[in-house]
Amino acid sequence: MSTMTRRSLLLAGAAAGAGAATAGLVAPGTAHAARTKNLLLAGQFGNLSLVTPGGALLMYYHNNWQWGSGSWLGPFHRGDGFQRFSLLASTGINHTYDNLYLAVDSSGVYGYYWSYLANNGAGAWQNGGAPVELAPRSWTGWQSLKFLVSGGYDDGIDRPDGTEPGSIFYTVDTQGRLYWHRYVGVPGVNGHWALNSGRQIGIGWNGFVYVTAEPEGTVWGVDADGNLRWYRYRHARRGDGDTWEAGAGTVVGTGWRGGTYGFQTVQSGGQGRMYMVDRDGDLRWNYDAWYRYEYPSWYYQTDPPKIGTGWM
């Protein structure tokens, strides 16, 4: 009797026409990122996606994402037509190959869910791949948006308050107001917005070039001068307050825009890991071991390593 691991299940999906496993540096070829606000979709904990200019959604999995080395799985072509959306974000679910995608266009906010166990382990979209409307644009926190930010997946483990596991997202509107959202479950199946979703938790966020976050509440913003600024939201799991840890706005890095590398996007990979695409389209990786605090401890003080090519 044989057992199917998560890795072998994903590879089975590749055999069904999705893609192939690739070791070392990944060269996506034509998989250049879409003209969307978030150019690289980091679902966190190893899950990454790209949308090509033609609208194809390509999924990757970064083995050993914790240390910026190891092989890759993908690209897996999961669907088309995603160029219609002006904003996209994703979360990798509970350290698996499942991904929840939020997508925004002028008509509303939509959800897609990829399940790696569906279709006898070959993987499939829930709801047949049809978008599920999750909110109209008129709802608080979804109007006139500048950023849609993945805050990653909170698994709810060791949570005495009984908060359901769910995916955290932040939005920033053109006036700079920052909002918290948490989505629980699968769109169109058992999904719903958690209590307090749409709560305004900050102002002045429209001055950033990039904003990214992770599940425990650390939020980073890259300003026009290339400074990486640290913030930590104290209510990231439940959205039941608007207070931030002391040290909010502390500069924890420089040169994150322009400078030596000319980063075109900065995305959190979860637990202090960062993915950055430089001016040459190379995907780079770094790790702040003290990401919970305003005093950084970067694994690479200079020259973060290339872990992929052709990503932009």
Peptide bond just before 75 cis, omega within 30 deg? yes
Q: What is the mean pLDDT of residues 41-66?
A: 88
pLDDT the model gives residue 9? 34
Averaged pLDDT of the chain: 86
Pick 149 or 161 by higher pLDDT: 149
pLDDT above 90 for 20: no
Task: Provide the edge-to-edge strand list for the sheet that holds 283-287.
Answer: 265-270, 273-277, 283-287, 306-308
| Residues in Cβ contact with 140 at an 8 Å cutoff, skipping those fewer than 6 apart | 179, 198, 200
pLDDT the model gives residue 160? 63
Q: Are 41 and 89 in contact (CB under 8 A)?
A: yes
| 218 beta partners | 232
pLDDT, tens digit, for every residue of 191-222? 999 999 999 999 999 999 999 999 999 999 99
Q: How far apart are CA 64 and CA 73, in angstroms?
A: 11
Reported as a pLDDT band with limits 50, 70 and 90, residue 18 is very low
Reported as a pLDDT band with limits 50, 70 and 90, residue 2 is very low
pLDDT above 60 for 25: no
Pick 143 or 309 by higher pLDDT: 143
Q: How far apart are CA 148 and CA 150, in angstroms?
A: 7
pLDDT, tens digit, for every residue of 78-97? 999 998 999 999 999 988 89
Q: Which of 35-44, 149-158, 209-218 bottoms out in mean pLDDT, i.e. has the lowest?
A: 35-44
Q: How far apart are CA 283 and CA 269, in angstroms?
A: 12
Tell the burial category of 136 from Cβ atoms under 10 Å away from its Cβ (0-12, 13-18, 19+).
Answer: exposed
pLDDT above 80 for 70: no
| Residues in Cβ contact with 302 at an 8 Å cutoff, skipping those fewer than 6 apart | none
Q: What is the mean pLDDT of residues 120-140?
A: 94
Evaluate whether the domain defined by 6-308 bears CATH number 1.10.3470: no
Q: How far apart are CA 181 and CA 197, in angstroms?
A: 4
Q: How far apart are CA 115 and CA 186, in angstroms?
A: 10
Q: Which pTM value belongs to this model?
A: 0.89
pLDDT the model gives residue 154? 92
Pick 88 or 17 by higher pLDDT: 88
Helix (H) or strand (E) holding 6: helix 6-13
Q: What is the Rg, in whole angstroms, of the alpha carbon atoms belonging to the chain?
A: 18
pLDDT, tens digit, for every residue of 266-291? 999 999 999 999 988 889 999 999 99
pLDDT the model gives residue 55? 87
